[in-house]
Every structure is written in C-alpha cells, then in structure tokens.
C-alpha cells in the first residue's frame, strides 16, 4: 500500500522506551495522586523518537491533495484559491481568543465584523438581511426551508407542505426538504438542461410551499426563464429558495434578490474563498427578503446608536421554528471573518471580475476538449459544464477510468456521475483563480488520456498506477465495511 517505509499508524512505529522529549531533573520530590484517580495500567501510547514522529505525520500530510498543491476542477464545489491573507486575519489572537458569552461591550469589534459581513452579503445578493448562523450549505437549506414553513404557518396557511425541486438539483436539496418535513415534487428539465416551465405549471397550487432552484444550475447553465418562474410560483402563493452554491459566476453581475428569490443560502467555503473539504468548518449564511426578516434565527447582530448589539434566541421556545436558533452561538465566526477579508481584499470593483473570469476559464476548457469528450449540451456555460464521458464510446473507457487516470497525472478528478441527468457525467469547474498555464496543462492531459483510451485502453482502465492506494471496491466497502484496523505492533512483516 504505502511504499514509504513508515507504518500506517504511529503505534506501529513504537518501540518500548523510545522518547521524543526529556524532562528536566525533578527537584521537587514525589507527590503521588490519590489511588482512587490513578489508572491501574500504563496508557498504551506510542513510544517514538522525534524524527519518526515528524516524518510519519509529514508523509501522511503529503498523501493529501488540496487546492494548495494542485489543480482541483471539482464541479459544483468551487475549489478556488484560499488566499493566505484570510488565514492571517483569522488567526489574529484578538479574534481567536474571544468567547461567545463575553459581555458585548468587550466584543464590539467582532460584532462590527459580523454586522458588516451580514450587510455585505445582503448587498451582493440583493436580500434584505442575512444570518451567519448555519454551518454549511445544506444547513442553510434546512434553515431557509424552516423559514419558509414558519412563514406559511404564521399566516395560518397550513396546507403548503410540498416543495418543488428540479431533477438536476444537488442531492442536499431534496434531503433538506425531507428533513424539514416537506414533501418533494420533482420538476423536469428541458433537453437543453433548463427547468421546464411547461412541466412546472401543473405542479403549482395551494399546497406548494415553494421551489428550490440553483442558478446557474448544476449543469452550469443560466436559468433564463427565472423571471417567469418567479412570477408563476409567487402567483400560486409559494416562495423561491435560491441554492447559492453556484453564485460564483454571478458575483457582482446579477443578484438572486433581483430575480425574485425570497430566501437564499451562500456557501462561504465555495464562493467566498474559505477552505473546505474534509467535513468543514464551512459556513452557509442565509439571506431573506424583507417580509421574512422576523423568521431569521438568532443570535443576530444589530447596529444601534450605542454600538453593536445582539438579539439572542429565546431558549424556552420550541426548537422547531427557524426564528429561534439553528446553531450554537454565531455560527463559524472565523469562517465569516475569512470571507469578510476576501470581500474587502477584492473590493467593489474587483469582485465583479470573479464571475467573468470563472466563466471564461470554463468555456475555454469546454471548447478545447469537446472533440474528445461528449458535450451533451453545447452552448455557452457559466462557471462549470458537464461532459458525458469520452466521445469515442467504443473504447469501453468510462468516466470513472478517466477520473482515476487524472490522479496519475497529479490532478484532482472532476466531479463524476453528477448531475444524474447523464450516465457518464463529468463536471468540470476550473474557477477564476487558475492561470492559463495550469488550465492548458489540464487540457493537454485530458487530450493525452483520450488518446490513451483509444490506443492503450487497459492503461486507463487500470489506473491509478502512481497513488499510494489503487482502486477501492466501493460496493464491497459499502456492503462489508471493515471498521477496525489490525495493528502491526512488533511484527512489521504481517499484512494489514
Ligand atoms: C455544495 C453544494 C450544496 C451543499 O453545500 P454544503 O456546504 O456542502 O453543505 C448544495 N447545493 C449545491 C448545488 C452544491 O454545489
């Protein structure tokens, strides 16, 4: 597995008596702990010298792939560069040592940051107000749907229990709706990949709480009928939810609020350059139009004549309403701070260049590769696009094979087998941060893989050849997961 001469676990490198430290001589005598709180046996801790520890963890870290060490065209995820200045600001001790329960007159600076980013995000998206509480996009979806449900219920309109979700939607959309207790109704896409207005019309009625849309959608296409859709949904009494995971190409160019959306979420870890992957920390702020402000969760930061104040949740109320609380305290403050740094670093004018550059990069890759890869919807895309596998289907080389072969060449694979509209979907999103050299290198590699698929298909089908772990059997892993690991202590020749 790992061709470096280091164990998989630090425990496997342990030798009794080895130490990575030495303590100064004890001049204070012995003061034993009471027997009642003393352990009976020594803790089983690894015993290693310092270099072994350093090499072990450094080697493991090098098995990782991240935006900082290579091109990461993972569609739908907006793996853009996370500027180092964001990290510098977020690691300032004046921010990191704050406690959420400090008296508010001692945290006026932090509250000002929160207030300012609430306002910046509201202004960028055209919403009336924003909460920073949710921890991720999916959490924002749940919060937003709870706001929509609360709004209908508050008006005594209790029949609205269905939410319309396009067949191209990200899986979190129907999942969030289900968690919120809403029934999901699917609306189909037209052959050119947009929400089918004719399929939508008959679904609308007095049982519809709202519709969830992503714009540009998960195929990277702008939903050009959005104004008509907004009118249709509003006319039937429903609200519009905007999945903001794809805001990147619209930054500073168009605003969901102006398109008619009532509730939105943003993924600060996508559009606003804060790191993601590995499960967090992320942030999924939710923005709302004027009439939904009373349903925003708390705590919420306000500006008053005296300074910044916080409206806290009423913890005696039921938890089922969104306008109470959805997270501990203020959400991921340091993630908000990184996004705020990003917005201020770019400024009003430069933020408008993000979308056009991301769009240009995606269209450039698409046009360069469309002779080798099947392009099911051939038109101008926004920040990402979808291929349906290799154009030459006779080779038997699948999207999975191409993705695995890309790893051999040092690239992260694109998103594969999503969206579900095509069998061999391969979703590519370069982002605005990449140089032309990097993008040209990727294009060249994709051409090489297409040629390999024709000339030496086995080479691609058996990829990856250069990674520490080859292909894992996904099905076996799902059906018979091995959840324990047998340590190799004192017998390094044994197989794991
Ligand atoms: C990433 C993504 C989500 C979910 O966001 P998380 O922050 O990962 O929870 C929802 N919708 C779309 C279109 C996405 O790309």
Helix H or strand E encompassing 440: helix 436-455
pLDDT of 278: 65
Tell me the domain boundaries of the chain: 3-23+35-62, 84-349, 353-475
What's the CA-to-centroid distance between 15 and ligand 1, angstroms? 45
Q: With 60 as the cut, is the pLDDT of residue 426 above it?
A: yes
Q: What is the mean pLDDT of the chain?
A: 92
Cis bond leading into 299, ω under 30°?
Answer: yes
Confidence of residue 9 (pLDDT cuts 50, 70, 90): confident
Of residues 467 and 464, which shows the higher confidence score? 464
Nearest atom within ligand 1 for CA of residue 214: 13
Summarize pLDDT for 267-278 with one digit per residue, the tens. Answer: 999 999 999 866
Q: For the ranges 103-117, 179-193, 229-243, 313-327, which has the lowest average pLDDT?
A: 313-327
Q: With 50 as the cut, is the pLDDT of residue 127 above it?
A: yes
Choose the residue to mutate in 75, 138, 144, 386 for probing ligand 1, maximizing ligand atoms within 8 Å of C-beta: 138
17: left (phi over 0), alpha (psi -120 to 50) or beta: left
Rounded-to-integer distance, Cα 253 and Cα 251, Å: 5
Q: Where are the alpha helices (DSSP H) in 155-273?
A: 172-179, 197-200, 226-235, 256-259
Q: Residue of the nearest CA to atom 5 in ligand 1?
A: 137
What's the CA-to-centroid distance between 169 and ligand 1, angstroms? 10
pLDDT of 157: 96
Is the beta carbon of 14 within 6 A of some atom in ligand 1? Answer: no
Q: Residue of the nearest CA to atom 15 in ligand 1?
A: 76
Query: Dihedral (C-alpha) 247, 248, 253, 256: value to the nearest 10 degrees?
Result: 0
Q: For the ranges 49-53, 223-227, 270-274, 313-317, which has the lowest average pLDDT?
A: 313-317
CA nearest neighbour of 387 among 440, 430, 424: 424
Please give the average per-residue pLDDT across 122-131, as a whole number. Answer: 98
Please give the average per-residue pLDDT across 55-67, as a whole number. Answer: 87
Residue 139 CA, chain-centre distance (Å), reads 11
Of residues 100 and 430, which shows the higher confidence score? 430
pLDDT of 468: 81
pLDDT of 492: 46
Of residues 60 and 231, which shows the higher confidence score? 231
Is the beta carbon of 243 within 6 A of some atom in ligand 1? Answer: yes
Q: Are 255 and 126 in contact (CB under 8 A)?
A: yes
Q: With 80 as the cut, is the pLDDT of residue 317 above it?
A: no
Range of 65-74, 280-289, 450-459 with top mean pLDDT = 450-459
Rounded-to-integer distance, Cα 443 and Cα 454, Å: 17
pLDDT of 3: 45
Confidence of residue 201 (pLDDT cuts 50, 70, 90): very high
Is the beta carbon of 464 within 6 A of some atom in ligand 1? Answer: no
Is the beta carbon of 213 within 6 A of some atom in ligand 1? Answer: no
CATH class of 84-349: alpha beta
What's the CA-to-centroid distance between 311 and ligand 1, angstroms? 28
How many Cβ atoms sit within 10 Å of the Cβ of residue 470?
13
What's the CA-to-centroid distance between 277 and ligand 1, angstroms? 12
Q: Residue of the nearest CA to atom 6 in ligand 1?
A: 137
Nearest atom within ligand 1 for CA of residue 246: 13
Q: Which CATH architecture has domain 353-475?
A: Alpha-Beta Complex (3.90)
Residues 6+ apart with CB under 8 A from 365: 73, 385, 428, 430, 439, 442, 443
Is the beta carbon of 80 within 6 A of some atom in ligand 1? Answer: no
Q: Are 313 and 298 in contact (CB under 8 A)?
A: yes
pLDDT of 322: 53
Nearest atom within ligand 1 for CA of residue 140: 9
User: What is the full DSSP assignment across 352-420?
Assistant: HHHHHHHHHHHHHHHHHHTTTB--SS-S--SS-EEEESBS-GGG---HHHHHHHHHHTT----EES-ST
Q: Are 416 and 428 in contact (CB under 8 A)?
A: no
Please give the average per-residue pLDDT across 19-44, as a whole number. Answer: 90
Summarize pLDDT for 331-380 with one digit per residue, the tens. Answer: 999 999 999 999 999 999 999 999 999 999 999 999 999 999 999 999 99
Is the beta carbon of 335 within 6 A of some atom in ligand 1? Answer: no
Q: Are 310 and 114 in contact (CB under 8 A)?
A: no
What's the CA-to-centroid distance between 86 and ligand 1, angstroms? 22
Confidence of residue 280 (pLDDT cuts 50, 70, 90): low
């Amino acid at each position: 597995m790992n061709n470096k001469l280091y164990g998989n676990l630090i425990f496997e490198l342990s030798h009794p008596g080895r130490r990575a430290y030495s303590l100064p001589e004890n001049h204070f005598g012995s003061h034993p702990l009471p027997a009642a709180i003393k352990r009976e046996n020594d803790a089983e801790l690894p015993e290693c010298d310092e270099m072994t520890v350093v090499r072990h963890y450094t080697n493991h870290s090098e098995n990782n792939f991240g935006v900082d060490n290579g091109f990461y065209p993972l569609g739908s995820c907006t793996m853009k560069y996370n500027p180092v200045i964001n990290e510098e600001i977020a690691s300032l001790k004046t921010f990191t040592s704050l406690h959420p329960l400090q008296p508010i007159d001692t945290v006026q600076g932090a509250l000002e940051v929160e207030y300012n980013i609430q306002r910046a995000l509201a202004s960028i998206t055209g919403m009336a107000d924003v909460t920073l509480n949710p921890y991720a996009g999916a959490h924002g979806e749940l919060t937003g749907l709870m706001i929509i449900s609360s709004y209908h219920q508050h008006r005594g309109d209790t029949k609205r229990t269905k939410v319309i979700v396009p067949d191209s939607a990200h899986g979190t959309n129907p999942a969030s709706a289900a968690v919120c207790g809403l029934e999901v109704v699917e609306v189909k896409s037209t052959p050119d990949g947009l929400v089918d207005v004719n399929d939508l019309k008959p679904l609308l009625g007095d049982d519809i709480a709202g519709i969830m849309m992503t714009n540009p959608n998960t195929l990277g296409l702008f939903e050009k009928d959005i104004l008509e859709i907004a009118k249709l949904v509003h006319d039937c009494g429903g609200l519009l939810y905007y999945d903001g995971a794809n805001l990147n190409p619209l930054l500073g160019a168009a605003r969901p609020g102006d398109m008619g959306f009532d509730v939105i979420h943003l993924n600060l870890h996508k559009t606003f350059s804060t790191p993601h992957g590995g499960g967090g920390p992320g942030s999924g702020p939710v923005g709302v139009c004027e009439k939904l402000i009373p349903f925003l969760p708390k705590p919420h930061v306000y500006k008053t004549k005296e300074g910044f104040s916080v409206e806290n949740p009423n913890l005696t109320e039921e938890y089922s309403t969104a306008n109470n609380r959805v997270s501990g305290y203020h959400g991921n403050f340091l993630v908000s701070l990184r996004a705020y740094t990003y917005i201020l670093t770019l400024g009003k004018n430069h933020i408008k260049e993000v979308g056009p550059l991301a769009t240009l990069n995606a269209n450039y890759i698409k046009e360069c590769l469309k002779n080798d890869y099947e392009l099911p919807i051939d038109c101008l895309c926004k920040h990402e696009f979808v291929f349906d596998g290799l154009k030459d289907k006779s080779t038997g080389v699948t999207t999975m094979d191409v993705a695995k072969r890309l790893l051999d060449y040092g690239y992260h694979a694109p998103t594969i087998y999503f969206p579900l509209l095509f069998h061999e979907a391969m979703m590519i999103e370069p982002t605005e941060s990449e140089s032309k050299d990097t993008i040209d290198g990727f294009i060249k590699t994709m051409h090489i893989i297409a040629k390999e698929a024709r000339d030496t298909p086995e080479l691609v089908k058996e990829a990856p050849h250069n990674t520490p772990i080859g292909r894992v059997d996904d099905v076996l892993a799902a059906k018979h997961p091995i959840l324990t690991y047998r340590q190799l202590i004192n017998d390094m020749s044994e197989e794991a």
